[in-house]
């Protein structure tokens, strides 16, 4: 029996101890008419050898295309040591550190993670993670409402560059408690906020800024942070952790800094894996810590006075506060945080800077090459980090299909976001000059052949 | 146990200028970004060599208890063996490297696994539709209650704002109801562990949106009047939510759909053996009956047959316009879902039933042995499901041995403690769940350890107030942790 150690003798003896004739007797409190004899659609068992063969065949169907898509998930090299260690049974098969003395490995790792992510974001405190970047925005919005009690509107204003899926997720989750989300106006030339058109008197409880924006642009976060604070709003920032090797951290935005930072932790050593498991990070100013959702680890001392680590501020959480908790979150993304902590330790600040610079340089050379093709140009003016929007002279979807046939994933179709034929491309440090040339040549070839040009 | 005692931080190993050179690309020119947008400070990430980093985190791992190293009978958490193949196959390079926005032409392998997983989960739950996107049990709960609300709203029934929860419910249940903008109404438990039916009768009415139940309950017993409960709630116009935390107990024996539940979440990291990972990732797939099909969270995986070819695709806003929406940036914890898929295929149809059979056998055996040894079972007249409760109320009074004390004493005997002080209504309780993957010898040794601890307290007056003694740290000062917050390393402050 797979994964069940019982011999027939064991089972017999155990039933005898219980005083039952058969295992079936152990289910005798369940009304007979509710029980089924067998499942109908689950197939018969496979051995490990058989399932391994099946999974290899299926993996092969998905292939290993050359990927120039970003749009919220990024391909970075992951040092072998990261997952070698994270999948050690002691990390992989442990649970939430309820028994602190028997979970110091997980707890110390989270404490080190909290230190690293607060350093990157320039804020004071971090939780032990949320599910992903999108749901982190939902939690940050709810936290902003709990924190900024003077404002009763429940209205959150989103900068134009906030990932549209993040907005959908935040609306689905936080909308249930009456929060509403509105977009600030975009300056179509730069893709950034149109400061001339900022609304008056909307009484936002929070303003959300994403840097770099979903379309890759870099906004004047200082100016918008100061405007939001002047409006009486909290500032929630969504940031890419790799970019923070170079870009000004949220804690230093404007006069007072952002109040809460959140985002997608996937770029820090987590495989893209079709969308998950990733982890959402969240940091904030010290004074807001009691409104933060999720688990938090603190350093304390034991009976001998030696340092040790434990979950703390648990009075915020669902297992204590039940219906009055800051969130219903229980399990978070512990294993991913373990991987990210090892990743950040291996790279250090300088390693992260190199990755950020290399990703920027690769994207810049991809953008330069593509813009030299007739029919492609920059969509937005201004600087970018490692992702940039392009304007095309024809529909994007057929072009991407044709590239995919050559095993090149040529970018994210930005048409519905931008309201024009547009493409979002990204080339991280994983791409060589030859890869980038291959990509540019494929674009040029397909565009020259096709009669897809818009009328 | 050879416990590493050091709590030296990775930052203590840091030396300015030291690097793990193999792990960083060669320096390139600085990015062309205006200075006003750049950071001027240098974040203090560790500067350590690759060996130092590997050694540090390997040592930290050794400071954990885990399923792979210890018996871990943590009630309600289903700490069963996580087969290694599930992890290795989910991390095949094509799966691990697949971008979530890749076209379906480069995802038929992955999508076929997801589609088949949906179908298998429909079968084991008896539901009509499954959405895999919720990223943990609590998010599955959110999805479930949000669907119940959406259902009532779609019928113009806006007054139904109350969610009924038993007092024994997981904390996530009432917390979820609040997140969905609902009010919580708690109903008590009867003396034998079933829900207090009269109190429930008094609670249901025109304001009832639904009821959230775990069956078997968190008390480790099957709710025997479930059909009457379902009829009562349905007759009042409410819906039934099944918290799948204890699905391991009834897998392949009774299906929530057949008990008339309208919606269920499953904890794939419990029943389907994906890793707990030191606190996640979880995965909280939801199943629904016909009534709630239109409201499922998106995306869902669909299947098209065209000219004899099968193509798997995503069903999203256009296909499910009444959906409660998206709950994650992409499609949930897909890599966890792959692990669950591999596990289910290895168990197969008959293996599913064996899970609940042997989980129940182990729990009842352990309960019988502990009962024989003089421990007080909270519900001695009831069959245990896959877990059961021992109350230390008597020992706490007679020899000052509390649930906390025995939990810490067990750590010194190299066993992870059971869940303590949950459910809240049983005093000094230990919620014990052995799972089907533990052998009789392990259970026997655990009983012996429990007996030894109590005997030493009773006969030799041994106290465990300061246990554990053999762990990397002694009992920790939780009050200090909360009062003098130290949530990150700040070298200038210490």
Cβ distance A334 to B280 less than 8 Å, yes or no, reads yes
Q: Is B160 in the A-facing interface, judged by CB distances under 8 Å?
A: no
User: Cα–Cα distance between A114 and A282 in angstroms, integer?
Assistant: 9
User: Cα–Cα distance between A133 and A239 in angstroms, integer?
Assistant: 9
Cβ distance B27 to A342 less than 8 Å, yes or no, reads no
Cβ distance B346 to A48 less than 8 Å, yes or no, reads yes
What is the Cβ-side half-sphere exposure of residue A265, based on CA atoms within 13 angstroms?
Answer: 39
Weakest mean pLDDT among A312-321, A390-399, B168-177 = A312-321
Of the partner residues A27, A334, A346, the one whose CB lies closest to the CB of residue B253? A27
Cβ distance A383 to B37 less than 8 Å, yes or no, reads yes
Residues 6+ apart with CB under 8 A from A205: A144, A145, A148, A151, A153, A154, A155, A156, A179, A233, A234
Q: What 8-state DSSP symbol labels residue A425?
A: E
Q: How far is A252 from chain B (nearest CA, A)?
A: 9
CB B386 within 8 A of CB B359: yes
Residue A35, pLDDT > 90, answer: yes
Identify the pLDDT of residue A223. 97
Residue B122, token pair as written in the block: 């429909």
Calculate mean pLDDT across residues A243-260: 98
Calculate mean pLDDT across residues B212-223: 96
3-state secondary structure of A352: helix
Give the domain ranges of chain B.
85-346, 354-478
- Residues of B with CB below 8 A from A274's CB? 95, 98-100, 102, 107, 110, 330-331, 334-335
User: Cα–Cα distance between A234 and A255 in angstroms, integer?
Assistant: 13
Domains and CATH numbers, chain A: 8-59 (no CATH), 66-75+348-449 (3.90.1150.10), 80-342 (3.40.640.10)
B175 to chain A: nearest residue by CA?
Answer: A323
Q: How far is A87 from chain B (nearest CA, A)?
A: 8
- Residues of A with CB below 8 A from B277's CB? 91-92, 94, 333-336, 338
Tell me which of A155 and B5 has the higher pLDDT. A155
Give kind and range of the element (H or E) at residue B350: helix B334-372
Cβ distance A335 to B278 less than 8 Å, yes or no, reads yes
B225 to chain A: nearest residue by CA?
Answer: A31
Specify the residue for token string 């303590």.
B420
Cβ distance A51 to B79 less than 8 Å, yes or no, reads no
Preceding omega of A212 cis (within 30 degrees of 0): yes
Give residue-wise pLDDT tens across range A181-194: 999 999 999 999 99
pLDDT bracket for residue A405 (50, 70, 90): very high
For the purposes of burial, counting CB atoms within 10 Å of the CB of B380, is it exposed (0-12), middle (13-18) or buried (19 or more)? exposed
pLDDT bracket for residue A331 (50, 70, 90): confident
Give residue-wise pLDDT tens across range B381-427: 999 999 999 999 999 999 999 999 999 999 999 999 999 999 989 99
CB B244 within 8 A of CB B137: yes
Q: Which one, of B226, B251, B284, lies nearest residue B352 by Cα? A: B251
pLDDT bracket for residue A450 (50, 70, 90): confident
Identify the pLDDT of residue B206. 97
Residues 6+ apart with CB under 8 A from B318: none
Q: How would you classify the pairing of strands B419-420 and B429-432?
A: antiparallel
Cβ distance A336 to B358 less than 8 Å, yes or no, reads no
* Start-end of H helices in B91-171: 93-96, 108-125, 137-154
The span from the first CA to the last CA of chain B, in angstroms, equals 31
Q: How many CB atoms lie within 10 A of CB B15?
A: 11
Q: Is B382 in the A-facing interface, judged by CB distances under 8 Å?
A: yes
CB A69 within 8 A of CB A316: no
Cβ distance B364 to A131 less than 8 Å, yes or no, reads no
B32 to chain A: nearest residue by CA?
Answer: A383
* Cα A21 versus chain centre, distance: 52
Residue B94, token pair as written in the block: 């094509």
User: Cα–Cα distance between B115 and B134 in angstroms, integer?
Assistant: 16
User: Cα–Cα distance between A31 and B229 in angstroms, integer?
Assistant: 13
Of the partner residues B87, B342, B476, the one whose CB lies closest to the CB of residue A300? B476
Identify the pLDDT of residue B24. 84
- Residues of B with CB below 8 A from A42's CB? 120, 123-124, 344, 348-349, 352
Q: How many CB atoms lie within 10 A of CB A50?
A: 12
Cβ distance A383 to B33 less than 8 Å, yes or no, reads yes
CB B67 within 8 A of CB B80: yes
Average pLDDT, chain B: 96
Give residue-wise pLDDT tens across range B46-79: 999 999 999 999 999 999 999 999 999 999 999 9
User: Cα–Cα distance between B254 and A104 in angstroms, integer?
Assistant: 39
Preceding omega of A80 cis (within 30 degrees of 0): no
Same topology, domains B85-346 and B354-478? Answer is no
User: Cα–Cα distance between B386 and B360 in angstroms, integer?
Assistant: 4
Calculate mean pLDDT across residues A260-287: 98
Identify the pLDDT of residue B307. 87
Residue B3, pLDDT > 70, answer: no
A278 to chain B: nearest residue by CA?
Answer: B333
Identify the pLDDT of residue A452. 53
Calculate mean pLDDT across residues A402-424: 97
Cβ distance A347 to B24 less than 8 Å, yes or no, reads yes
pLDDT bracket for residue B494 (50, 70, 90): low
Q: What 8-state DSSP symbol labels residue B378?
A: S
User: Cα–Cα distance between A396 and A390 in angstroms, integer?
Assistant: 10
Q: A388: which strand partners?
A: A425
Of the partner residues B177, B333, B468, the one whose CB lies closest to the CB of residue A101? B468
- The CA-atom distances, in angstroms, between A35 and each of A32, A443, B270 are 5, 59, 22
pLDDT bracket for residue B306 (50, 70, 90): confident
Q: How far is A131 from chain B (nearest CA, A)?
A: 7
Provide the ipTM. 0.97
Identify the pLDDT of residue B5. 55
Q: Is B253 in the A-facing interface, judged by CB distances under 8 Å?
A: yes
- Residues of A with CB below 8 A from B80's CB? 3
Give residue-wise pLDDT tens across range B103-155: 999 999 999 999 999 999 999 999 999 999 999 999 999 999 999 999 999 99
Q: How far is B119 from chain A (nearest CA, A)?
A: 7
Of the partner residues B65, B135, B254, the one whose CB lies closest to the CB of residue A35? B254
Cβ distance B136 to A331 less than 8 Å, yes or no, reads yes
Of the partner residues B95, B103, B357, the one whose CB lies closest to the CB of residue A59? B95
- Residues of B with CB below 8 A from A73's CB? 99-101, 329-330
Q: How far is B139 from chain A (nearest CA, A)?
A: 7
Window 77-116 of B, Cβ < 8 Å to A: 77, 79-83, 85, 87, 89-103, 105-110, 112-113
The span from the first CA to the last CA of chain A, in angstroms, equals 65
A341 to chain B: nearest residue by CA?
Answer: B57
Identify the pLDDT of residue B450. 98
Domain B85-346, classified CATH 3.40.640.10, yes or no: yes
- The CA-atom distances, in angstroms, between A14 and each of A188, A245, B362, B365 are 73, 59, 8, 6
Cβ distance A99 to B105 less than 8 Å, yes or no, reads no
pLDDT bracket for residue A451 (50, 70, 90): low
Give the residue from A59, A72, A396 with the most B CB atoms within 10 Å of its CB, the best one to mutate. A59
Q: A296: which strand partners?
A: A312
- What is the C-alpha radius of gyration for chain A, rounded to an integer number of angstroms? 26
- Residues of B with CB below 8 A from A63's CB? 94, 106
- The CA-atom distances, in angstroms, between B357 and each of A332, B223, B233, B363, B385 are 30, 18, 30, 10, 10
- Residues of B with CB below 8 A from A417's CB? none
Q: Is B49 in the A-facing interface, judged by CB distances under 8 Å?
A: no
Calculate mean pLDDT across residues A99-117: 97
3-state secondary structure of A376: strand
Q: B116: which strand partners?
A: none
For the purposes of burial, counting CB atoms within 10 Å of the CB of A198, is it exposed (0-12), middle (13-18) or buried (19 or more)? middle
Residues 6+ apart with CB under 8 A from A231: A202, A203, A204, A207
Give kind and range of the element (H or E) at residue A283: strand A280-284
B132 to chain A: nearest residue by CA?
Answer: A276
What is the CATH number that goes with domain B354-478?
3.90.1150.10
pLDDT bracket for residue A320 (50, 70, 90): confident
State the pTM of this model: 0.97
Of the partner residues A129, A323, A405, the one whose CB lies closest to the CB of residue B177? A323
CB A133 within 8 A of CB A210: no
User: Cα–Cα distance between B310 and B288 in angstroms, integer?
Assistant: 25
User: Cα–Cα distance between A421 and A454 in angstroms, integer?
Assistant: 9
Angle at A100 between CA A99 and CA A103, to 5 degrees: 90
Give residue-wise pLDDT tens across range A333-345: 999 999 999 999 9
Give the percent of chain B with pLDDT over 70: 99
Q: Is B9 in the A-facing interface, judged by CB distances under 8 Å?
A: yes
Ramachandran angles phi, psi of A303, nearest 5°: -60, -30
Of the partner residues B62, B72, B90, the one whose CB lies closest to the CB of residue A105? B62
Residues 6+ apart with CB under 8 A from A444: A373
Cβ distance A341 to B135 less than 8 Å, yes or no, reads no
Window 162-191 of B, Cβ < 8 Å to A: 170-172, 174-181, 184
Chains A & B: contacts with CB separation below 8 Å: 690
3-state secondary structure of A252: helix
Residue B194, token pair as written in the block: 């079933």
Calculate mean pLDDT across residues B158-173: 95
Calculate mean pLDDT across residues B347-372: 98
Identify the pLDDT of residue B1. 43
Cβ distance A385 to B31 less than 8 Å, yes or no, reads yes
User: Cα–Cα distance between B318 and A214 in angstroms, integer?
Assistant: 23
For the purposes of burial, counting CB atoms within 10 Å of the CB of A54, is it exposed (0-12), middle (13-18) or buried (19 or more)? middle
Residue B266, token pair as written in the block: 């499953």
- The CA-atom distances, in angstroms, between A261 and each of A123, A236, A385, B118 are 8, 6, 18, 35
Calculate mean pLDDT across residues B24-38: 89
Q: Is B476 in the A-facing interface, judged by CB distances under 8 Å?
A: yes
Preceding omega of B423 cis (within 30 degrees of 0): yes
A126 to chain B: nearest residue by CA?
Answer: B487
């Amino acid at each position: 029996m797979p994964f069940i150690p019982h011999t027939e003798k064991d089972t017999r003896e155990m039933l005898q101890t219980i005083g039952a004739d058969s295992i079936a007797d152990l289910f005798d409190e369940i009304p007979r008419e509710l029980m089924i004899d067998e499942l109908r659609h689950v197939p018969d068992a496979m051995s490990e050898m058989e399932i391994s063969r099946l999974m290899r065949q299926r993996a092969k169907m998905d292939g290993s295309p050359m990927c120039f898509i970003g749009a919220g998930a990024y391909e970075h090299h992951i040092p072998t040591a990261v997952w070698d260690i994270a999948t050690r049974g002691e990390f992989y098969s442990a649970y939430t550190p309820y028994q602190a003395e028997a979970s110091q490995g997980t707890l110390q790792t989270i404490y080190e993670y909290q230190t690293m992510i607060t350093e990157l974001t320039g804020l004071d405190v971090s939780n032990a993670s949320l599910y992903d970047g999108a749901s982190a925005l939902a939690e940050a919005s709810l936290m902003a409402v709990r924190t900024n009690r003077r404002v009763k509107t429940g209205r959150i204003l989103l900068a134009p560059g906030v990932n549209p899926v993040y907005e959908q997720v935040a609306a689905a989750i936080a909308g249930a408690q009456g929060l509403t989300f509105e977009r600030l106006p975009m300056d179509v030339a730069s893709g950034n906020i149109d400061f001339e058109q900022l609304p008056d008197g909307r009484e936002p409880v929070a303003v959300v800024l994403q840097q770099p924006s979903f379309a890759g642009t870099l906004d004047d976060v200082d100016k918008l942070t100061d405007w939001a604070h002047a409006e009486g709003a909290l500032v929630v920032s969504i940031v890419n952790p790799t970019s923070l090797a170079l870009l000004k951290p949220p804690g230093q935005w404007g006069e007072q800094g952002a109040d809460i930072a959140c985002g997608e932790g996937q770029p820090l050593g987590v495989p893209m894996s079709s969308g998950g498991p990733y982890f959402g990070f969240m940091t904030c100013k010290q004074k807001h810590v009691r409104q933060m959702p999720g688990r938090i680890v603190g350093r304390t001392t034991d009976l001998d006075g030696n340092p040790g680590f434990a979950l703390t501020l648990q009075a915020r959480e669902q297992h204590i506060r039940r219906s009055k908790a800051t969130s219903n979150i229980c399990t978070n993304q512990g294993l991913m945080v373990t991987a990210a902590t090892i990743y950040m330790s291996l790279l250090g600040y300088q390693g992260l800077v190199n990755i950020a610079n290399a990703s920027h340089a690769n994207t810049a050379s991809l953008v330069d090459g593509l813009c030299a093709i007739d029919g492609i140009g920059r969509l937005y003016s201004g600087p970018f980090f490692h992702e940039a929007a392009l304007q095309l002279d024809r529909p994007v979807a057929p072009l991407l299909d044709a590239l995919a046939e050559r095993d090149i994933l040529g970018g994210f179709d930005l048409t519905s976001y931008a309201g024009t034929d547009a493409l979002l491309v990204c080339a991280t440090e994983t791409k060589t000059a030859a890869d980038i040339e291959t990509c540019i040549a494929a674009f040029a070839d397909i565009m020259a052949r096709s009669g897809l040009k818009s009328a | 146990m050879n416990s590493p005692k050091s709590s030296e931080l990775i930052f203590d190993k840091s030396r300015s200028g030291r690097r793990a050179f193999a792990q960083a690309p060669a320096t390139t020119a600085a990015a062309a970004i205006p200075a006003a947008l750049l950071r001027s400070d240098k974040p203090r990430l560790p500067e350590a060599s690759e060996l130092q980093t590997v050694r540090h985190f390997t040592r930290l791992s050794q400071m954990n208890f885990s399923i792979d190293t210890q018996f871990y009978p943590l009630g309600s958490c289903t700490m069963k063996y996580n087969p290694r193949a599930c992890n290795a196959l989910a991390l095949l390079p094509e799966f691990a490297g697949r971008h979530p926005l890749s076209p379906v032409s480069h995802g038929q392998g992955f999508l076929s696994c997801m589609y088949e997983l949906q179908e298998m989960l429909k079968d084991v739950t008896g539901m009509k539709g499954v959405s895999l996107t919720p990223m943990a049990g609590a998010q599955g709960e959110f999805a479930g209650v949000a669907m119940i609300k959406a259902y009532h709203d779609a019928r113009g029934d806006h007054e139904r704002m109350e969610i009924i929860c038993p007092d024994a419910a997981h904390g996530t249940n009432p917390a979820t109801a609040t997140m969905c903008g609902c009010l919580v109404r708690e109903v008590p438990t009867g003396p034998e562990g079933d829900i207090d039916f009269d109190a429930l009768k008094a609670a249901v009415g025109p304001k009832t949106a639904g009821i959230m139940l775990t069956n078997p309950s968190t008390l480790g017993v099957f709710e025997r009047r479930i059909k009457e409960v379902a009829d009562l709630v349905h007759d009042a116009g409410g819906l039934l939510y099944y918290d799948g935390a204890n699905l391991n107990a009834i897998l392949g024996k009774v299906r929530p759909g057949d008990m008339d539940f309208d919606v269920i979440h499953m904890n794939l990291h419990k029943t389907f053996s994906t890793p707990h990972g030191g606190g996640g990732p979880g995965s909280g797939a939801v199943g629904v009956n016909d009534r709630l099909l239109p409201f499922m969270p998106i995306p869902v995986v669909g299947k098209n047959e065209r000219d004899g070819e099968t193509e798997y695709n995503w069903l999203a806003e256009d296909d499910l316009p009444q959906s409660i929406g998206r709950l994650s940036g992409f499609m949930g914890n897909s890599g966890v879902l792959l692990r669950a898929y591999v596990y289910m295929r290895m168990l197969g149809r008959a293996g599913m039933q064996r899970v609940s059979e042997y989980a129940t056998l182990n729990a009842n055996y352990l309960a019988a042995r502990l009962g024989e040894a003089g421990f007080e079972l909270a519900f001695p007249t009831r069959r245990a499901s896959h877990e059961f409760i021992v109350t230390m109320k008597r020992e706490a009074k007679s020899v000052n041995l509390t649930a906390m004390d025995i939990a810490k004493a067990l750590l010194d005997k190299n066993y992870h403690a059971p869940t303590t002080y949950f459910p809240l209504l049983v005093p000094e309780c230990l919620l014990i769940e052995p799972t089907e993957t533990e052998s009789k010898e392990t259970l026997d040794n655990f009983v012996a350890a429990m007996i030894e601890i109590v005997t030493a307290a009773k006969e030799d007056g041994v106290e465990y107030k300061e246990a554990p003694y053999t762990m990397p740290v002694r009992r920790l000062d939780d009050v200090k942790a909360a009062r003098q917050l130290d949530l990150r390393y700040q070298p200038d402050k210490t």
